[in-house]
Structure 1
Amino acid sequence: MIQINQLSKKYKGADTFSVFELNLQIEEGEIFGLLGPNGAGKTTLISMLCSLLKPTSGSFTINDLNFRDQKKQLKQLIGIVPQEYALYPALTAYENLYYFGSMYGLTGEPLKNTIYDHLKIMGLSRFANKRVANFSGGMKRRVNLIASILHNPKVLFLDEPTVGVDVQSKNVIIGHLEELNRSGTTLVYSSHHLNEAENFCTRVAIIDHGRVICMGEPGVLIANQKNAHNLEDVFLSKTGKALRDHA
Structure 2
Amino acid sequence: MASSHGKPHTESGSPYLKMKELVDASGVPKSTLLLYVNTGLLPEPVRTQRNMAYYHPSCIERVGFIKQAQARHRLPLAAIKGLLKEMDNGRDVGPLVELQATLFGSRGRRIGRQAFCSATGLSGEQVTALCKARILVPLADGQFDREDQAMGRLLKKGLDMGMTIPDLSFYPKLAETMVEEEITLRQKITGPLSFEKDAALTLELTRMARGLRTYVIDRIMQKRLIDFKGLKNRKP
Give the structure with the larger helix fraction: 2
Does the TM-score normalized on the shorter chain lie above 0.5?
no
Which structure has more relative contact order (CA 8 Å, sep 6+)? It is 1
Structure whose alpha-carbon radius of gyration is higher: 2
**TM-score under structure 2 length normalisation:** 0.24
**TM-score under structure 1 length normalisation:** 0.23
Give the structure with the larger strand fraction: 1
